[in-house]
Chain A
Amino acid sequence: EPEVTQTPSHQVTQMGQEVILRCVPISNHLYFYWYRQILGQKVEFLVSFYNNEISEKSEIFDDQFSVERPDGSNFTLKIRSTKLEDSAMYFCASRTGIGAEQYFGPGTRLTVT
């Protein structure tokens, strides 16, 4: 069964450094998402992406964040200058079309020291 994959599974970085989290959505999916989950807290929506542009974003998704679909398969989340509070699990998700369910990847745990 097709699945969303994410790399790396765990990323450790120093405060102020840039990180790129990578996702490979399911191949025929058209809508892509990033969510984050700070340890012990709920899953929070960050951004949705369709047709090579951001369609919606939350108040969390500020200028430090950006997303890109650099080729036909990858979907990336970049954090420009990481802060301690960016430490969280980041989930990528994708779906085929409007109304379809979102499929989640296993997540990347980001630790900022």
Chain B
Amino acid sequence: AQSVTQPDIHITVSEGASLELRCNYSYGATPYLFWYVQSPGQGLQLLLKYFSGDTLVQGIKGFEAEFKRSQSSFNLRKPSVHWSDAAEYFCAVARYNNNDMRFGAGTRLTVKP
């Protein structure tokens, strides 16, 4: 079965600094990859997704992610973090039919003023 590893449990960055959240997946074929954001007490909001095609995908709120097959990674980036980006970020992987999505443990982002 597919699985996801998010190596960083908690990251703190200063407002205006760049951000990279790491995600590694395990799956035998080309996966469907996702990044979701969850604010405290809220549901999951999709930031971006990769199904096929261009390996650099753009999402909402200025986020982007790059699919690197050779590294089994799908890292999330943002060039300049805003205080409102403080939240929990989940990477997820699904099989080709996107039927059972598996989530990573999440990375909690704290933004310092």
List residues of A whose CB falls within 8 A of some B CB: 31, 33, 35, 41-45, 48, 55-56, 58, 91, 95, 98-107
In the complex, which of the residues A31, A33, A102, A105 has the most CB atoms of chain B within 10 Å of its own CB atom? A102
B11 CB to closest chain A CB (Å) equals 16
A87 CB to closest chain B CB (Å) equals 15
Given A58-B100, A106-B43, also A42-B32 (CB < 8 A): no
Q: B97 contacts A99, CB within 8 Å?
A: yes
B42 interfacial contact with A, CB 8 Å: yes
SS class, residues of chain A in contact with chain B: strand
A111 CB to closest chain B CB (Å) equals 14
Chain B, residue nearest A45 (CB): B100
Given A99-B32, A104-B44, output 8 extra A-B contacts at Cβ < 8 Å.
Answer: A43-B92, A43-B103, A48-B100, A56-B100, A91-B43, A98-B97, A102-B101, A104-B43
- Residues from chain B with a CB closer than 8 A to the CB of A33 are 101
Measured CA separation A44–B3 after assembly (Å): 11
Chain A, residue nearest B44 (CB): A104
Q: B102 contacts A45, CB within 8 Å?
A: yes
Number of A-B pairs, beta carbon distance below 8 Å: 53
- Residues from chain A with a CB closer than 8 A to the CB of B101 are 33, 35, 45, 102
28 A-B contact pairs sorted by A residue (CB < 8 Å): A35-B103, A41-B105, A42-B90, A42-B106, A43-B90, A43-B92, A45-B100, A45-B103, A48-B99, A55-B99, A56-B100, A91-B43, A95-B98, A98-B97, A98-B98, A99-B51, A99-B96, A99-B97, A101-B46, A101-B98, A102-B101, A103-B46, A104-B36, A104-B44, A104-B45, A104-B46, A105-B43, A106-B43
Measured CA separation A91–B102 after assembly (Å): 14
- Residues from chain A with a CB closer than 8 A to the CB of B98 are 95, 98-102
Measured CA separation A55–B99 after assembly (Å): 8
- Residues from chain B with a CB closer than 8 A to the CB of A107 are 43
Measured CA separation A107–B42 after assembly (Å): 8
Measured CA separation A44–B43 after assembly (Å): 14
- Residues from chain A with a CB closer than 8 A to the CB of B32 are 99
Measured CA separation A102–B46 after assembly (Å): 9
